[in-house]
Chain A
Amino acid sequence: MPFAQALWESLVGDSPLVLPVLFLWLTGTLMLWPLDSWLLKRMPKERWSFITAVILIVTCWFVINAPNAIGFADMFRVDGVTKGFQIICIGAGVFTTALGHKQFDALKEHTAEYYALILFSISGMLLLVGATDLVSMFFALELMSLCIYILVGYLRTQERSVEAGIKYFLLGAFSSGILLFGISLLFAATGGTTTNLERLGQAIALAPGNHDLLVFSGVLMVLIGFAFKVAAVPFHMWSPDVYEGAPTPVTAFLSMAPKAAALAAFLRVFGAGFHSVSENWIAPLSFIAAASMILGNIAALRQQSIKRMLAYSSIAHVGYMLLGILSMDTQAGTQAVWFYMTTYLFMQAGAFAVVIHLQGVEEGERIEDFRGLGKRHPLLAFAMMVFMLSLAGIPPLLGFFSKFYLFRLAIIEGFVTLTVIALLTSVIAAYYYLNVVAQMYFKEPDEKELGRMGICTSTVVTVCSAVLLVGTAFGPWIMKWVGKIL
């Protein structure tokens, strides 16, 4: 068969796997060129958020209907795990588009490029969660991060947004360098034959004796690169500043979607690829998990800004989720992490929706701004209480069940010390989450008048709290259902 024909046939055969990605690339590009700059030039910009949400929902449909297969020379794999994490990323995108437009309109910073960048970023995530090769994984990671660097620095007239963007970009580029160097060392350890995760795992397990150091440092550097992307201690330094400086809708996006995608890649690389050399990474990863739980929770205690508090608490949540990656039973670990990430998506989206509403167009985002919300706005305060209690993992809420399954798995896998640390730090976490609740119900309100809540924000708050409350009723059975679909 001639080369061109073979190429064409493999392309046609493989393209259904990345149909959602191709759709996002196409719509993102069309949005920028003929539509925004020419055909729909006069359209009010806030309608783009609606269009973006529709595009994402269509993408979600493509994702659900994608065939389960492996393609592109074993570089991309679609299975239950891929689809599960892809749906989380798309959901985060939908929430973000619903939350952003009010603030950007008020600041006169509304552009179609903002939505296009979100679409491109999500396309990177979709590629990342399905990547089964270190090369395709690296490029997907770069596609995802590059869009987010731009989004973080999007409000270029605000100094702290620009600062956050530059900080994130420089540190992100540096960590990508470390990741890439680690990949190249592993490539060398296999004798320069493969970067495919499965074959790489077999090859480095059989690597000759003097290569163990090479494998060790390669695995460690890949671990560092990923730990940076998910903001785990001690590679978390960028996270509070970036969370605080970025426009709040972007912060919400940043705390949900890239984390889910990077954790999925983490699970694939360490759960499947480096499973055979687990003695090289169990100890460093345990250290990273424990340090994230302890430092994230303790640093969150002293924060005055709710965005910084949520940043530190998300570091802690990543620490909990790393317990699932440590699990030797990869499937159970994946299920627990997926379930945790899904509940985290709803809690975080809801909490950020409330923060964005309170924030209005001003910069006030201190925890004190929640004073007396219970009297001013009882329903909103109730929703916020649900999110905070769920984030803290107070029983019977859904956040408790996700923590419960993760910690139970960790105990079954024998990480007792880590689980004890996780439990103790969850208690610390309850303090600062409950502090917000206390501010809302037991402090006198100030005179500040709140603006009307937009329909989008109220929808996000309603959906998130409804999912958490209804999910609570089904908590004990959810894990069985997760086991069926992943």
Chain B
Amino acid sequence: MDQFLSYINQFFSYIGQHLFLIFGLLAVISAAFLVFAKNAVHSVLTFLAAMICIAACYLTLQSEFLAVAQLLIYAGGIVVLFLFVVMLVELSKFKENRLFQKQTPYAVVIVMAGVGGFMWMFRRLIFDSSASIPLTLSPELSEGLNVANQNAQSVSRGLFTGYLLPFETMSVILLIALIGAIVLAKQSRA
């Protein structure tokens, strides 16, 4: 019994050490489902799963504020918006169209090669015995960003001091998205 408990203990501590990897993997898997799902509603739901997993990744990096923002904005807002769009647009007539038919085999080979390459690279970086300094996927990374304490404060300080220029650029990018939607969808131009 004691041995069993210690096994369980070990198992959970092992999981605890690799939470980031586990959630990251889950995010990738749900993103894959998002791409391959035949039904658009299923795609949106797996997108929701991917967003939640990414929020969990933020949590393991000790940035609680980002995690909450991720949940609120993506899981709460954008997924609902997508669901509305999917339900309003009649997608049934596109069902039979199989896009990208010719390229599929090449694409699969290239993607597999890419995935294999990156897996090998990350394995070497993180788990290899030759890894003199293991790649930081744990609190050290967030220490570099200095967000571990006072999450919301450090995010806002970052936005308004170090990252002011990209932040303001982003606001113009959003404006462009609005203008673009109007330009491309307005009824008449005359």
Contacts and interface: CB of A to CB of B under 8 A. Distances in A.
B189 A111 contact: yes
Contacts of A25: 172
B189 A143 contact: no
Interface string B34-75: 000000000000000000000000000000000000000000
A58 interface: no
B131 A192 contact: no
A331 interface: no
A108 B189 CA distance: 7
Interface in A30-56: 32
Contacts of B157: 3
A419 to B, nearest CB: 32
Interface residues of B, number: 39
A76 interface: yes
Given A156-B184, A192-B144, A213 B124 contact: yes
Nearest to A72: B165
Interface residues of A, number: 49
Contacts of B176: 117, 120, 143, 146-147, 150
A191 B133 CA distance: 10
Given A11-B164, A127-B169, A136-B165, A146 B180 contact: yes
B183 A117 contact: yes
B154 to A, nearest CB: 12
B166 A117 contact: no
Q: Main SS of chain A's interface residues?
A: helix
A116 interface: yes
A363 B11 CA distance: 68
Interface string A131-160: 000011011101100110110011010000
A209 B135 contact: no
B179 A143 contact: no
Contacts of A108: 189-190
B183 A18 contact: no
Contacts of A486: none
B132 A209 contact: yes
A210 interface: yes
A188 B131 CA distance: 14
A195 to B, nearest CB: 10
A150 B121 contact: no
B127 to A, nearest CB: 11
A292 B115 CA distance: 27
Contact of A211 (B125, B145, B162, B182): B125
B136 interface: yes
Interface string B164-190: 111001101101110110111000011
B8 interface: no
Contacts of A72: 164-165
A366 interface: no
Contact of B180 (A7, A124, A150, A208): A150
A213 B165 contact: no
* Residue with the greatest number of chain B CB neighbours at <10 A, chosen from A3, A154, A191, A209: A191
Contacts of B136: 188, 191-192
Interface of A: 3, 7, 10-11, 18, 25, 29, 32, 72-73, 75-76, 108-111, 113-114, 116-117, 120, 123-124, 127, 135-136, 138-140, 142-143, 146-147, 149-150, 153-154, 156, 188, 191-193, 208-211, 213-214, 217
Given A114-B183, A117-B180, A191-B136, 10 more contacts: A72-B164, A73-B165, A75-B163, A110-B189, A120-B179, A150-B183, A192-B141, A210-B131, A211-B135, A214-B135
Task: In the A-B complex, list the 3 residue pairs whose CB atoms are closest, starting with the nearest.
Answer: A192-B144, A150-B180, A139-B169
12 contacts: A25-B172, A73-B165, A117-B179, A120-B176, A136-B165, A140-B169, A146-B173, A150-B179, A188-B135, A188-B136, A191-B136, A192-B136
